[in-house]
Every structure is written in C-alpha cells, then in structure tokens.
C-alpha cells in the first residue's frame, strides 16, 4: 500500500550495486521499500540479508546504496521528485553496516539552506552520489562523498566522523540560458580528482577540479 500517496513512487528496484570486493552481495535501492542487501552467491537462489526502511516517517524513493567495505558503512540517497521542496526531506543517510543483517542509521549529510533553494526553480533534495566506480581511472574514497542535489548543485562531504559529517565543497552553476532550472543529476570522479557533473535539463556537462 502507498504510505504517502501524493509522493510515493512504488515498491520496486531503482538501482543495484555489485562490487568486485563483494561479488556475492547486491546493495539495492528499493524506492519506497528502502535499503535492501541481497545474498547473490547462488544466482538461482537469491536471498535477502537486510531491509531497512525509513518511510514512514520520511518520504520514500531510495535511489542509491553505496557500500564502504573497509569502514563497514552504507551511504544511501533518496531522490527528490517534486519541485520546490514539496517532498522534502530527501536526504543522504550514513549507516553502520557492521552487523550486515541490521544496518543502523548514524547520521544524515548536512543540507544547504532550505529557504534559499526552496525558492529557486526546480527540485531541491538529494539525488545520486559518486559510487566509487571500480577501475584504475576512478577516484576511490571512503572519507569523501560526492552528491548531486538538482538545483543545489554538486556537494562534497567529509565523512571521516560518521556521526558528524561536514560539507567541504560545493558548486552551483548559473541556470543555463533557456532552461527553467538547474538539474544537477549525476557525477563521475576520475583518478586525479576531476569531477564530471551532468545536468539533466539543459546544462550539459561541467568539468570541475577538486581543490580541498
């Protein structure tokens, strides 16, 4: 049943991540059903290890689940799908995953000023994060999180203290000519810390250098 009918997107898989470090696990964002960890060691008999759902009391639409294996953590995003903060709050969560069957929320990443961004055109809230793409040409970090926030741009967070994460950098472009809003949507970070940031509306791709 829909729990927030005016906002809910349904109980279905949005995104799944499988990494070489744990090829027997799938870390799944299951929209209004929250975070799901699957045991995929036997592809003919997949089983659920954990399901953590925070909706309710929060709105749903879990978008991405990023495991941080050395720190036994999960970084989880929701997706804002309404204009002007109508479905606020859509957040980025940090979770303790030391007990794999029982992930525990430890904190959320700090969000930019709501009064400012609610009054700008477009969506305001979380969307995606850089997912530590495996490979020699990718930037891998378990201390920094790179997040896309639609009209609030790209934001970088230091999560060395998982109970008190801090924003350390951000970039909010001007609204492109002919566009109704910024739609900062996705990000890749290469091995040199160069960020490739995509606008889903009209802004194209921004190439940014990390300087912290």
Residue 36, in any domain of the structure: yes
Closest CA to 79 of 69, 68, 94, 65: 65
**Whole-number pLDDT of residue 9:** 64
**Whole-number pLDDT of residue 4:** 55
Sequence-distant (6+) residues with CB within 8 A of 106 are: 94, 95, 96, 162, 163
**Domains in the chain: how many in total?**
1
**Whole-number pLDDT of residue 5:** 55
Q: How many residues are recorded in the chain?
A: 212
Whether this model's pTM surpasses 0.85: yes
**Whole-number pLDDT of residue 56:** 85
**Whole-number pLDDT of residue 151:** 95
What ranges make up the beta strands (E) of 53-97?
62-68, 73-78, 92-96
149 dihedral zone (left: phi>0; alpha: psi -120 to 50; beta) = alpha
Instruction: Please write the tens of the pLDDT for every residue from 83-138.
Output: 988 999 999 999 999 999 999 999 999 998 888 899 999 999 999 999 999 999 99
**Whole-number pLDDT of residue 7:** 55
Residue 120, in any domain of the structure: yes
Q: What is the CATH number of the domain that holds 201?
A: 2.130.10.10
Backbone angles phi, psi at 115, to 5 degrees: -60, -40
**Whole-number pLDDT of residue 16:** 97
Residue 7, in any domain of the structure: no
Residue 167, in any domain of the structure: yes
- Asked if the peptide bond before residue 56 counts as cis, ω within 30 degrees of 0, the response is yes
Residue 81, in any domain of the structure: yes
Residue 182, in any domain of the structure: yes
Which residues of the chain are under the pLDDT cut of 70? 1-9
Instruction: Find the domain containing 51 and state its range.
Output: 15-209
Residue 68, in any domain of the structure: yes
Residue 10, in any domain of the structure: no
**Whole-number pLDDT of residue 1:** 45
SS3 168: strand
**Whole-number pLDDT of residue 113:** 84
């Amino acid at each position: 049943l829909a729990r927030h009918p005016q906002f809910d997107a349904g109980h279905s898989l949005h995104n799944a991540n499988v990494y070489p470090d744990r090829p027997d696990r799938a870390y799944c964002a299951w929209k209004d059903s929250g975070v799901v960890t699957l045991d995929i060691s036997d592809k003919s008999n997949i089983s659920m290890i954990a399901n953590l759902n925070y909706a309710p009391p929060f709105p749903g639409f879990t978008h991405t689940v990023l495991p941080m294996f050395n720190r036994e953590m999960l970084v989880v995003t929701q997706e804002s799908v309404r204009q002007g903060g109508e479905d606020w709050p859509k957040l980025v969560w940090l979770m303790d995953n030391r007990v794999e069957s029982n992930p525990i929320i430890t904190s959320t990443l700090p969000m930019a000023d709501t009064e400012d961004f609610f009054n700008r055109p477009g969506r305001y809230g979380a969307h995606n994060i850089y997912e530590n793409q495996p490979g020699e040409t990718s930037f891998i970090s378990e201390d920094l999180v790179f997040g896309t926030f639609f009209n609030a741009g790209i934001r970088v967070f230091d999560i060395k203290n998982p109970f008190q994460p801090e924003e350390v950098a951000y970039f909010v472009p001007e609204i492109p000519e002919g566009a109704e809003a910024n739609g900062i949507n996705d990000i890749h970070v290469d091995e040199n810390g160069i960020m490739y940031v995509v606008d889903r509306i009209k802004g194209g791709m921004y190439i940014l250098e990390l300087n912290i």
